[in-house]
Amino acid sequence: MQQSEHLKIQTLKKLVSDHQNFYSVPKPLVLLMKILFKIFYPVLLFVVVPGCKKNIAAISYDTSIASLQNVSLPGANKLGRQKIITLSTGNRTYPTSQALLWTPEDYKTNAKKGMTFPLIFNLYGQGQCGTDLNLLLKDSTMSQFIANGFNATAINPLDSLTYAFIVCSPQCPTSWGWSAPQVKQMLSDLKSNLAIDTDRIYLTGFSCGGWGLWSCMTDDTSLTKQFAAIISISSASADHPDKITYVDKYGIACINICGDQDAFYSNAVSYTNIINSNNPPIPAKLNTLHNVGHSAWRYAYDENWKSMDSINIYQWMLQYKRK
């Protein structure tokens, strides 16, 4: 890492030198440039070193969080029928996250009438990490199904009413994923700016996003208690599996969807058993996909796929409200 930083600084110095030689800069101006370089040298270090830390390109955002209240305005930047927004993360290295936001077609009209909408917050896998938002529309994510025409609606099996979801899918610029502290901040931004039914906030996560999902259940109980239900899909290992009992403690519905050929399948079995060890009022469910490897999300997010309860995940979520 030190060699990399040194190389970057030397490159900056060489650029100044080459610039001087190429344009034959007058000596007084050269002296001024040297003085400015010395003044701003610490600033350059501050910029270069964090970039070296994870080698992620700078991110350019199209829509500020302040515009969330006007998400239905024409002309907003969109990708795959979803609006491009920026959320604060509270993270020092990556203080903001770009995200795709879906709101119901009648959101603006009904929100003005005081209607609120259930929220699905998605944490995707490593293949969706980076700074190219198009990655969120690949590999059968919920965002891709929305891009292809899914309007994020479902019939609640309990009351037979049709509900329309708000769906937010943030992109983590690092090579792993967001976890509890960042999710808590992003969720706060959304709740402050959108007409969200705070009793119907649902969390999904697959692969490394599943690791992030479990961190939201174990690392901060003030965050854990905000969710009505979670869907863990082919999830990577939790950092604190001993604290997964918080799912039971706070009455959160949980379904683990995983292929029996997935390397993480044993985790899905174990975590389901941990939650159910105290006979919770809402038993966690394990939905095993036979002869399926690390790809269960390709089934789960499809509205036409049915879970073990013969309903899709959108119907399954709507059965549960925060207590």
> Residue type at 112?
K
pLDDT of 51: 29
Taking residues 130-150, report their average pLDDT.
Answer: 98
**What is the per-residue pLDDT across 228-263, written as a single tens digit (0 to 9) for each?**
999 999 999 999 999 999 999 999 999 999 999 999
Q: Range of 10's domain?
A: 2-54
Q: Which residue has the higher pLDDT, 32 or 149?
A: 149
323 domain residue, yes or no = no
How far apart are the C-alpha atoms of 92 and 96, rounded to whole Å? 9
With cut-offs at 50, 70 and 90, classify the pLDDT of residue 35: low
Taking residues 162-190, report their average pLDDT.
Answer: 97
Tokens, residue 32? 């001024």
pLDDT of 32: 56
Taking residues 89-118, report their average pLDDT.
Answer: 96
Question: Strand pairing of 229-233 and 196-206?
Answer: parallel
- 48 with 78, same domain: the answer is no
- 162 with 309, same domain: the answer is yes
141 domain residue, yes or no = yes
Instruction: Give the number of domains in the chain.
Output: 2
| Residue at which a domain ends, from 28, 54, 80 | 54
Do 256 and 288 touch, CB atoms closer than 8 A? no
Asked if pLDDT for residue 53 goes beyond 90, the answer is no
Asked if pLDDT for residue 42 goes beyond 60, the answer is no
> Residue type at 7?
L
Q: What is the pTM of this model?
A: 0.80
- 182 with 239, same domain: the answer is yes
DSSP 238: P
**What is the per-residue pLDDT across 249-304, written as a single tens digit (0 to 9) for each?**
999 999 999 999 999 999 999 999 999 999 999 999 999 999 999 999 999 999 99
pLDDT of 285: 98
Quick one: which of 101, 162, 136 has its CA closest to 314?
A: 162
- 89 with 228, same domain: the answer is yes
- 44 with 87, same domain: the answer is no
Q: What is the CATH number of the domain that holds 78?
A: 3.40.50.1820
- 43 with 133, same domain: the answer is no
60 domain residue, yes or no = no
Do 272 and 302 touch, CB atoms closer than 8 A? no
- 229 with 107, same domain: the answer is yes
For helices 2-23 and 27-54, angle between their N-to-C axes, nearest 10 degrees: 150
pLDDT of 272: 98
- 69 with 48, same domain: the answer is no
- 46 with 69, same domain: the answer is no
Residue 183 backbone phi and psi in degrees, to 5: -60, -40
